[in-house]
Amino acid sequence: MRVEIKKNTDQLNYEDFLGGLIRIVTIADVKPGAKEAQYDIAIESDARFWRPPPTVLKMLIKAWGDDAAQWVGRRAELYGDPNVDSPAMKKAGGIRVSRVSHIDAPVSEMLQITRGKKARFTLDPLPDAPPPNPNAARLAELKAEWDAGPTEERKAEITAEVQALQAGGRP
């Protein structure tokens, strides 16, 4: 049995990115924040919210505009930054964004991080996700059949079908 520590929280936290973990999320919804954050961003395949701080929101607005409905379906690459200050001015760590979809060139801006101190934030383009392979299930079946040791005649049939599927056609 593996021992796992699961936090009882409804949001992504810095600790979710310890060890250099990077995560690409797809935005499912954006709504006014239910807690201390201005907005709750629902992400696909996760019941928790992403609650970006104002600096990250400013960069998302610069990249995607201020119409939250347009953000749905767009993707962002998130990472943990140990140098993010908490309101108490201690290095508490936080979630930052390095790349986003739906931009053609880097987006960069000098933003205030504390009174009298600014830093440059940059979002790089995140390439479109490759479309799912509609033949993936059949290819997996053929691989399993191949691994089971078919006859030479069946190997030739499998090879022909795999080549046709990989070319995007049907055998």
pLDDT in tens, 24-76: 999 999 998 877 788 999 999 888 899 998 889 999 999 999 999 999 999 99
57: left (phi over 0), alpha (psi -120 to 50) or beta: alpha
Q: Are residues 66 and 93 in the same domain?
A: yes
> Residues 163, 169, 170, CA angle at the centre, nearest 5°?
85
Total residue length of the chain: 171
Instruction: With H, G, I as helix, E, B as strand and everything else as coil, classify residue 26.
Output: strand
Q: Are residues 46 and 89 in the same domain?
A: yes
Q: Which of 125 and 131 is assigned the larger pLDDT?
A: 125
Q: Which of 135 and 22 is assigned the larger pLDDT?
A: 22
What is the C-alpha separation between 127 and 152, in angstroms, rounded? 42
Strands 49-50 and 117-125: unpaired
**Per-residue buried b or exposed e for 58-73, using 16+ beta carbons within 10 Å of the residue's own CB:** ebbebbbeeebeebee
Domain that holds residue 149: 136-166
Q: Is the dihedral of CA 53, 55, 61, 66 positive or negative?
A: positive
User: What is the pLDDT, as a whole number, of residue 146?
Assistant: 83
User: What is the pLDDT, as a whole number, of residue 130?
Assistant: 67
User: What is the pLDDT, as a whole number, of residue 88?
Assistant: 58
Q: Are residues 109 and 31 in the same domain?
A: yes
Q: Are residues 158 and 113 in the same domain?
A: no
Q: Are residues 68 and 146 in the same domain?
A: no
pLDDT digits (tens, 9 = 90+) for 4-36: 656 667 888 888 888 788 899 999 999 988 777
Distance of CA 140 to the CA centre of its chain: 26
User: What is the pLDDT, as a whole number, of residue 123?
Assistant: 95
pTM of the model: 0.68
Is residue 170 predicted with pLDDT exceeding 60?
A: no
Is residue 89 predicted with pLDDT exceeding 60?
A: no
Q: How many domains does the chain have?
A: 2
Eight-class DSSP state of 1: -
In a domain, residue 117? The reply is: yes
Once rounded to an integer, what is the mean pLDDT over residues 135-158?
Answer: 85
What is the C-alpha separation between 171 and 165, in angstroms, rounded? 7
User: What is the pLDDT, as a whole number, of residue 168?
Assistant: 64
In a domain, residue 130? The reply is: no
Q: Are residues 43 and 98 in the same domain?
A: yes
What is the C-alpha separation between 150 and 166, in angstroms, rounded? 20
Percentage, residues of the chain above pLDDT 90: 35
